[in-house]
Structure 1
C-alpha cells in the first residue's frame, strides 16, 4: 500500500481490543464494538465490494445510518481501493420528494459503481438508482456475508467524495485526497492535544464533514473511544448526550450552535443532578455563524456542574477545506467583538461599537492552513479590514467532482480556496460575517442575511430554527424577505418595522408560512438561494405588498448569485 493513507488506515492494521465505538442500541443501552471487531467487518465488506465488481478508483455511495455497518462500509471501500461517498439517509429529510431530488442530484454527480445501504433502505433507494440507470443498491449485510478476499490494491486518488451542505446553491461533490484528509486529521489532533484516553461523543450525522471527519475518523485514527448517537436520539433526549460527558467520561465533541441552543432549551437541571463536567475539555462549535448568546446559554446551563467556559472552541471550516480551517486554542476563552454595523464595508476597516452586534471569534488557523482576507480587487488586506476569506494549505481539497457551472461563490483553484464568505482578522483570530452572495449593499456598507436573523431573534424573539431571511433584487429594487414558519402575531407585527429600519429603504416582505416551507440542508442550515427563487416564482404564501420608502437608495450584493 502506498505511503499516503497509512496513518488513516493504521487503526485497521493494528486494531485495539480495548478501545472502540459505542453505538446507541435503544433509549437506555449502548452496543460496544471494539476496533478489532470493526476491522474484521471492514475487511469482510471490502471483500464483498470486490466480489460485486467494484474496481480500483470507483466511487461507492453509502446511504446508511450511524452504525457499525457505516464504519465498515466507509473503511471497507478504502481497503477495496475505491472512494467512499457518504449520503444522508432519508430520515434526515421531512419531505421524501425533496429527499429523492436531493439524492438523485448527488448520484448524478458521483456516478457510483455501487450504492450500499442499510437493509431497510434498499427498496426505496432502488427506485432512485433505477431511474438514473445505476445498479440496484446492495445491503451492507449482504456484502459482509459475500465470500472472497481483498486484493492488494493501491488507494484511490480521493479518500472521500464529500458533498457540500448546499446552503448557497446545489450541493457540490468535493474530491478530498488522502494527503488533505490526513493533514486535517493530524491538525485537529494537534489542536486538541488528543491522547488515546480522550473519549469523543457525538450525535452529528456521519454523512456530514463535521460528524464524519471531526467526530468519527479523527478519534478512530487517534485510537480513542467514541460514544456515537443517532441525530434523532439527540433530538429525543439531549440530556442523554450530555451524560456521556457528565457520567461516562467523554471529553471531546463538536456541534453547530443549533445543538447548543437545543440542549439549553430542552434539558432541565434535574436531568444533570449526578453529572460532573469538569473534565470536559472541548466543544468545537461551527457549521454556521456562531451565536455568542448560544455559547453563553450553554455555559449557564452546565456551569453549576463544573463546565468551564474555555471548553467552548468556536471554529470555522467547510467541505472544500476537508473540515477545520480555524479554531480557538485550548485553554483560551472565546471572545466577542461588538461591531459597528455602519462600518461593515468590503475593503474597509471594521469599527467597534459597544452597542453594536456581537460576533464570536472563530480562532486561529489550524496547522498547515493559511488564512487571508482579500479586498474587492483581490489584494490581501491587513487585520481589521473586511473582505473575502481565502484559504490555502495541505488540507484544501483537490477540486470538484463536476465542472458544471454552479451558483456558488466558493471555488477551488490550484490549492487555493476562495470561500465566498466575508470576514476579517483581529488579533490573529478570524471573525466571520456571512456569505457574500447573501448581502445587500446599502450606502456603501454590506448588510448580511445573518445580521437580520440575529436582529429578529434578539429583538422580536423569533426562534432561529423557525425563520430565514433572504436578500436580493426584484425588479431592480433591493428586497429583504423574512420567512417565518407558523409565525406568532407579535413576530409579524414586530418584524416589518425592524427590517425597514435596518435595510434603509429596501422593499420588505414578511411571510407567515407553514412548517417545512424553509428548505434546509441536512445539517440544518437554510438554503437561501432556493428560498429566494421560490419567492421570485410566487411559490411562497402571500405577503403584505412591499412598500418602498424614498429615503435611501440601495444596491444588491447579489443574493441570487
Structure 2
C-alpha cells in the first residue's frame, strides 16, 4: 500500500481553488489596489556599515518592469532568452519581472565579478544562447565578451520610465516557458530546467501556503537571486503574496552575519531562509554581546535547505538566539530542487522538526529501523525530517526497477505536481532519463513523475533525505551516505573548517569493492595534521559510527574543496582531483592505509 499521507496537498484559499493568473497580472493588480505600499527594498552595506535602504512601491516596480518590457518587446521576438547578469539588488528583480512582462525567457545568472566562475558563466550563456544581457551600468563593459557572438548588453538602471505605457500588456499562457533555472553542479555540462509560467505560479503558491505568507508578512533575504531558493524568497513569493521584501547581498552577510539577524529584527520579518552553513556561521561569528537587544519574535519561518540539514546546527542556532525571542519551532528543514522549481517539502508553522534515531546497519541495507530512547545498538544514525510535501506528491522508488517502495524502505525520491518542470533546455537525452517517468505501483502504472536522483524515505508522511544516489559509498555490500560520514568526522575533528569535510568512494583493486577516502580542510592548514593526530582520530570515529575503515585521509588547506554556486560539495570533482593527485598542499602521504 502506498503512503497516502505523503501527498500533503496544500489547502486552497477561503474562496476555493487558486485562480490562474500570471505573475505580471498579479503585480499590476497590487499596483492598482495599493500603489504606495512598499514592495522591494535593498539594504546596501557597501558605503554605510549600518546599511542604506532603497525602496520601491508596488506602483514603481510595476512601472519600471513595464518600461523595460516595452523596450525588450520593441527589439526582440517573444520567447527569446534574456540573461540576467545584474548584481544583487533592485535591478535584478526588475529585470526578471520585465522578462515575464514581455514574454521573454529569463535566464537568472550572476555578473562576471569572480574570475573563478567565468568559465561556468560562459558555458551557461553558450547553452542558453540569449539575445540580450541585462546588467547594470557598472558591469556593462565586463559583460561584452562573455558570449561566442555579439549580444546586446542593456543596463537595467538606464531603462526609461516613460516607455511604460508602450507595454503590450502581454499575458502569458500557463504552458509557456518563463525562465531557465540552471543547476549549480556542473560547469562542463550546464543544464537549465525549463520553468513554465504555470510552474512558477504553482511553486510560489506552494511556498506561500507552506510558509504562511500574506501581504502582512514581511520577507527578508540575502540569498543570491540566481539560485532557485534565492529567486523564490527574494522575488517570486513576496511579489505574489503582496509582501514587502527587504533584500541584502550575500557578501554583506558573509562579511558580518549579524546584519541578517538585525535585518530580520528591523523589518519585523516573518519569513527568511538559508543553507545549513549560514546558521552555523551565525552561531560562530556573532558573539553573545552582539546578540543582546535582538528581537526575533516576529520571525516564524526560517527555512533550512539547499544543502544537507544537520541536527546539531538546528539545536545550536535555536539555543543561541532563544533569548532574542526566537521560537523553538522557527527553524524549518526543507527540501527542494531546481527541476521542481524550488520547494518540495517543508515543516509548517507551529511544527518543530522531527529527528529519528535509526539503526545504522539496517539503514545501510536500505531499511528504516527507528530506535526508541532505551535502545542502544552498536551504531546509530540520527536524521532530521524535511516536513511534508506541499501541494505535490512524493513517492519512494527502487531506482533500478522503478517500482514504488513501501514505507520504511530507502529508495529514490520521485516527485509529481504542477511545479515540476517538463525538462531541460535543449537536453533531450537527459530529459528522457529524468522527466515524465512511469512509476510502477500496486495500482498499476502512473505517468508524469520526476526522478530527483536523491536518496531518502517517508516516515509517517514526512520526508527524510539522505543524499545523492550517485554519491552513495558501497563497502562490503552496505550503503553509506557520505553526508553521515562527513558529519561524524566534523564532530570528531573540531580543528576542521566547519562543513569542509568530503567523503567519497574510489575503486578498489581486483575483486575489491569501493574504498573510502576522506578529505578534511583544517583551519590551521594541512601541516598540522600529524600534530593533532588526524588520521588516528578520523579512523576511530568512522570505525565506531559506521563500521568501515577509510582507505585514505588527506588534510587540505581552507577553501580547497570544490563547491557548487550554492555552496554544496562537488564530490565528483573531489574524487577526480584526488585520483589525478591535484589536491595540494595535503597531509603527508603516510596517511594512506594499507588495503
- 1:116 matched to which residue of 2? 134
2:317 match: secondary structure: helix
Structure 2 vs 1, CA of residues 5 and 499 (structure 1 numbering), >3 Å: closer, same or farther? same
CA contact (8 A) 1:280 1:307 kept: yes
**Residue 238 in 1 paired to residue 257 in 2?**
yes
SS at match of 1:373: strand
Shift in CA distance, 407/220, structure 1 to aligned 2, threshold 3 Å: closer
Matched with 1:385 is 409
In 2, are the aligned partners of 1:361 and 1:429 still within 8 Å (CA)?
yes
Distance 1:283 1:509 in 2: 38
Moved more, 12-21 or 65-74: 12-21
Equivalent residue number for residue 363 of structure 1? 387
State the Cα RMSD in Å: 2.7
Distance 1:210-1:314 versus aligned 2 partners, 3 A rule: same
TM-fit CA distance, 1:526: 1.2
| 2: CA distance, partners of 1:34 / 1:153 | 22
Matches within 5 A, 1:50-449: 50-51=73-74, 53-91=75-113, 93=114, 96=115, 98-129=116-147, 132-144=148-160, 149-155=166-172, 157-166=176-185, 170-345=189-364, 347-352=366-371, 356-367=380-391, 369-375=392-398, 376-403=400-427, 413=437, 415-449=448-482
Q: Is the Cα contact below 8 Å between 2:181 and 2:192 reproduced in 1?
A: yes
* Cα distance change of structure 1 residues 306 and 154 upon mapping to structure 2, 3 Å threshold: closer
Query: Is 1:39 aligned with 2:75?
Result: no
Q: Is it true that 1:525 corresponds to 2:568 in the alignment?
A: yes
SS in 2 for 1:362: coil
Distance change >3 Å, CA 266–CA 500, structure 1 → 2: same
| TM-score w.r.t. length of structure 2 | 0.84
1:536 shift after superposition: 2.0
3-state SS, counterpart of residue 274 of structure 1: coil
Deviation per CA, 1:94-138, whole angstroms, max 9, x where unpaired? xx1x31110111112211111112222222222222xx1241432
**SS of aligned partner of 1:463:** strand
- 1:479 — aligned with what? 515
Determine whether 1:459 maps to 2:492.
Answer: yes
Equivalent residues of 2:22, 2:172 under 8 A apart: no
Tell me, yes or no, if the aligned pair for 1:314 and 1:328 is still in contact at 8 Å: yes
1:513 aligns with 2:556: yes
> For structure 1, which runs of at least 5 residues remain unmatched after alignment?
551-561
CA contact (8 A) 2:41 2:245 kept: yes
Which residue in 2 is equivalent to 1:557? none
Shift of 1:71: 1.2
1:191, distance to aligned residue in structure 2 (A):
1.6
- Offset of 1:35 from its aligned partner? 1.7
Pairwise CA distance, 1:416: 1.4
Give the Å deviation of 1:66. 1.9
| Superimposed CA distance per residue, residues 408-437 of structure 1 (whole angstroms, 9 cap, x where no aligned partner) | 986554631111111111111111111111
CA distance, structure 2, for counterparts of residue 338 and residue 529 of structure 1: 29
Would you say the 8 A contact 2:435–2:448 is kept in 1?
no
Contact 1:160 / 1:175 at 8 angstroms: preserved in 2?
yes
Could you tell me how far apart the structure 2 residues matched to 1:293 and 1:408 are? 39
In 2, the alpha carbon distance for the partners of 1:516 and 1:125 equals 27
Could you tell me how far apart the structure 1 residues matched to 2:273 and 2:170 are? 34
Structure 2: how far apart are the matches of 1:163 and 1:388? 22
The CA deviation at 1:282 is 0.7
Task: Give the conservation status (yes or no) of the 8 Å contact 1:506–1:549.
Answer: no
Matched residue count: 540
What is the CA–CA distance in structure 2 between the aligned matches of 1:410 and 1:515, rounded to whole Å? Answer: 36
1:6 to 13, 19, 22: 22
Aligned-pair CA distance for 1:549: 5.5
Q: CA deviation at 1:469?
A: 2.4
| Whole-Å separation in 1 of the counterparts to 2:594 and 2:580 | 24
CA distance in 2, matches of 1:10, 1:103: 32
1:408–1:100 distance in 2 versus 1, CA, 3 Å: farther
Measure the CA separation in 1 of the matches of 2:21 and 2:389.
24
**CA shift for structure 1 position 385:** 1.0
> In the aligned structure 1, how far is the partner of 2:432 from the partner of 2:336?
16
